[in-house]
């Protein structure tokens, strides 16, 4: 039954879009910051730093006139504000327990405040290293 409901919703959604292309676009930035994890027992409870990366993605129909889902400048401006808040700081001054997960939550809250969330926010990814990442994804 669930498969039938999903198929029906997909068809309704495609009918609503008509001939419009649906795409996801993303923007990624980097910053350097220190943190410590006060609720953790291990090496990460000590002050240390990372070269962080943040990526946000927005999805939606491609506008026929502009040819875009969203202007990359909008995403850049939002991410620049996040970087200005975090770059070369002690993250604990902004987020009491600055795990990658809690940084994602902070960025999600800021996206709502700044109107990015209303533009079809698809995901937010925060890397604290090349191989360690937390992600929020729209369902």
- CB neighbour class for 91 (10 Å; exposed up to 12, middle 13-18, buried from 19): buried
Residue 139 has pLDDT above 90, yes or no: no
Catalytic residue among 6, 21, 48, 88: 88
Question: Is 44 annotated in the active site?
Answer: yes
Q: Which two tokens stand for residue 128?
A: 């604290």
Beta bridge partners of 132: 129
Beta bridge partners of 22: 61
Helix (H) or strand (E) holding 8: helix 2-17
The string of pLDDT tens digits covering residues 27-71 is 999 999 999 999 999 999 999 999 999 999 999 999 999 999 999
Query: Domains along the chain?
Result: 19-137 (3.30.479.10)
The string of pLDDT tens digits covering residues 88-115 is 999 999 999 999 999 999 999 999 888 8
Catalytic residue among 44, 50, 55, 83: 44
Question: Is 137 annotated in the active site?
Answer: no
Considering the entire predicted model, what is its pTM? 0.84
DSSP 24: E
CB 56 within 8 A of CB 79: yes
């Amino acid at each position: 039954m669930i498969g039938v409901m999903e198929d029906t919703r997909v068809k309704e959604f495609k009918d609503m879009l008509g001939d419009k292309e649906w795409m996801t676009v993303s923007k990624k930035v980097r910053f350097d910051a220190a943190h410590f994890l006060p609720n953790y027992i291990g090496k990460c409870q000590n002050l240390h730093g990372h070269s962080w990366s943040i990526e946000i993605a927005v999805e939606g129909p491609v506008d026929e006139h502009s040819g875009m889902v969203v202007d990359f400048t909008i995403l850049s401006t939002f991410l620049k504000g996040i970087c200005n808040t975090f770059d070369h700081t002690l993250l604990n001054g902004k987020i009491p327990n600055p795990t990658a997960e809690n940084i994602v939550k902070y960025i999600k809250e800021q996206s709502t405040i700044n109107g990015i969330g209303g533009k079809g926010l698809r995901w937010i990814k925060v890397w604290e290293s090349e191989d360690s990442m937390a992600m929020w994804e729209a369902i």
